[in-house]
Amino acid sequence: MENWLVINKKADFGALSEKFGISPLVARLIRNRDVVTEEEFEQYLSGDIRHLNDPHLLKDVDRLCAILKEKIEQQKKIQIIGDYDIDGVMATYILYEGISKAGGKVFSQIPHRMTDGYGINMHLIEQAKEQGIDTIVTCDNGIAAISEIAYAKEQGITVLVTDHHEIAFDEKDGEKQYIKSEADAIVNPKQPDCDYPFKGLCGAAVAWKVIQVLFELCRIPVEESYKFLENVAFATVGDVMDLVEENRILVKEGLKCIHKTQSPGMRALILQNNLTLENVNAYHFGFVLGPCINASGRLDTARKSLELFLEKDVEKAAAIARELVELNIQRKDMTAESVEIAKEQVEKECKQDKVLVVYLPDTHESLAGIIAGRIRETYHKPVFVLTDAEDGIKGSGRSIEEYSMYEELCKCKELLTKFGGHPMAAGLSLCRENLTAFKEKINAECKLLDEDFIPKIRIDIAMPVGYPDASLVRELNVLEPFGKGNTKPLFADKDLKVKRMVILGKNRNVLRLTLETVYGENISAVYFGDVEGFLNYYREKFGKEEVEAAFFGKNNKILIQIVYYPEINLYNGMENMQMVIRNYR
């Protein structure tokens, strides 16, 4: 079941078309992405570094950088504690390189997922004390480490927090009372009293803003911080931030840097994935390059990914990149096996629950988040995947738009030993004896309605498949970069006859179709994904014989409706239009 909705946002598209030199159709597509005013249209189309928000608007950033500058001048030992995902690795790299550039005596520590757990913790604080660390700077973590930071302060360590996760709170009489640690300074745009106008930065972007302010204080040209834009863009897409407003500019500018990057590590990662620098786009960040960085934190140590970006030798960087690619291949195989086990458990035990809690004791804990995402895609429900860990049960959750995962976990916090995250994703730890109680309470607190579980397919425009041409596809490039919050435009058409079908690909996961419109036009279309599911749907709807006839190019009774986007298919030097089918019925 899917609910297809045509977005119908109003504006004077003719006037916008004339003012900005775009077609009325593209003006409509931009308006559909919640871009309203002419100023917002200008930023969407032409936004660059000049349109970024002033980093000084971040609460505590001036205080934090003043402390850092003093520690640098005193040559105190500064340790960065990051996280083991792409955002944490990029944030660690930016802070390490930036503080080093300012003359700091800086060290880096990325926790090991299995032995250390997430973020700053007692073990790492003890280690820092033994090593004579004076100041700890967190990145992509720390906002929820209340007791850990209190302990660090007791040991006489200065603690500076840079983070972007949600702020922990207690709820009393219907009001949220936010919890704040004893850190010497906290930079996080999500703090309720922070005036920074854009709250959706990733951890690496927050770290970059800190380095900009530090460079100003240390009389280093702020332009020297721009070399980190490629890392900020990488992390923004890799951590699945919304590509809106400031994030969209950061990714656009970062991609420009990537296309001519001088970083041996970044170049090696791109080349080892058989890509060319100039063709890298946001899709590659999220689905090709990013998973290689995350794989090291999942199956080995994220320090390997950090070493890749710190490495100056081209051959050594290539060797590290090869290793990361191999780890990602291994991760894919392990994930596929665990996803099937998770689906079997859901079907047998909890398919009717509003919130799916899947317990996979033998699954590698680092894969929980990926598996949760796949299960969410299948059932369109909030999902927690839990696995056995040394000190109990650990896991990750992935949500749907209607359900704020972090806020719902706050309602169950008495059952958890640790948790944190965002509305759409979260991490948690709990004792084994609390597993059943957690399943029961997270569902009891859930206020989702039946209609919330029906996926909403938002269609930009109902447009005949015969309308798009190469010039339109090229004009659609102004909407890039595509990603969460700024998705590829989707169109819809109906009453399309299937003249021919053929299955392609070594895994038989590509279906090429020739469609005939009501006007008699023949249109090339392609479907990537569950081809057998696609065919079974139409076998049930029209009969096996009709589907079989379509494979032989014979007359048949199949009529389909599709949600699609147009693209140019380049084959043997020839350009051909094709419609990529995203949804069907």
Reported residue count of the chain is 585
pLDDT value at residue 214: 98
Same fold yes or no, 351-453 and 456-584 = no
Q: Tell me the pLDDT tens digit for each residue of 41-54.
A: 999 999 999 999 99
Nearest to 140 by CA among 181, 184, 83: 83
Mean pLDDT (whole number) for 559-569: 96
pLDDT at 389 over 90: no
pLDDT at 173 over 80: no
Q: pLDDT category, 285, cuts 50, 70, 90?
A: very high
Instruction: Dump the DSSP string for 15-75.
Output: HHHHHHT--HHHHHHHHHTT--SHHHHHHHHH--GGGSPPGGGSTTHHHHHHHHHHHHHTT
Mean pLDDT (whole number) for 337-356: 96
Q: Tell me the pLDDT tens digit for each residue of 178-234.
A: 999 999 999 999 999 999 999 999 999 999 999 999 999 999 999 999 999 999 999
Q: How far, rounded to the nearest angstrom, does the alpha carbon of residue 132 sit from its chain's CA centroid?
A: 36
Q: State the chain's mean pLDDT as an integer.
A: 95
Tell me the three state secondary structure of residue 191. coil
pLDDT at 116 over 80: no
Tell me the three state secondary structure of residue 120. coil
Mean pLDDT (whole number) for 126-154: 96
What's the pTM?
Answer: 0.90
CATH fold of the domain at 55-258: inorganic pyrophosphatase (n-terminal core) (3.90.1640)
pLDDT value at residue 301: 83
**Bridge pairing between strands 105-109 and 77-81:** parallel
Q: Tell me the pLDDT tens digit for each residue of 397-448.
A: 999 999 999 999 999 999 999 898 888 999 999 999 999 999 999 999 999 9
Q: Which residue has the tokens 């119908």?
A: 8
pLDDT value at residue 551: 95
pLDDT value at residue 297: 84
pLDDT value at residue 217: 97
Higher-confidence residue of 248 and 116: namely 248
Question: In whole angstroms, how far apart are CA 578 and each of 453, 469, 527?
Answer: 32, 9, 10
Q: Tell me the pLDDT tens digit for each residue of 299-331.
A: 878 899 999 999 999 999 999 999 999 999 999
Q: Nearest 5°: phi and psi at 152?
A: -60, -40
Q: Give helix then strand counts, H and E, for the chain.
A: 21, 20
Mean pLDDT (whole number) for 84-98: 97
Q: Measured between alpha carbons, how far is 61 from 135 in angstroms, rounded to an integer?
A: 16
pLDDT at 114 over 80: no
Q: Nearest 5°: phi and psi at 420?
A: 180, 170
CATH class of 456-584: mainly beta
Architecture of domain 351-453: Roll (3.10)
pLDDT value at residue 390: 79
Domain ranges of the chain: 55-258, 262-331, 351-453, 456-584
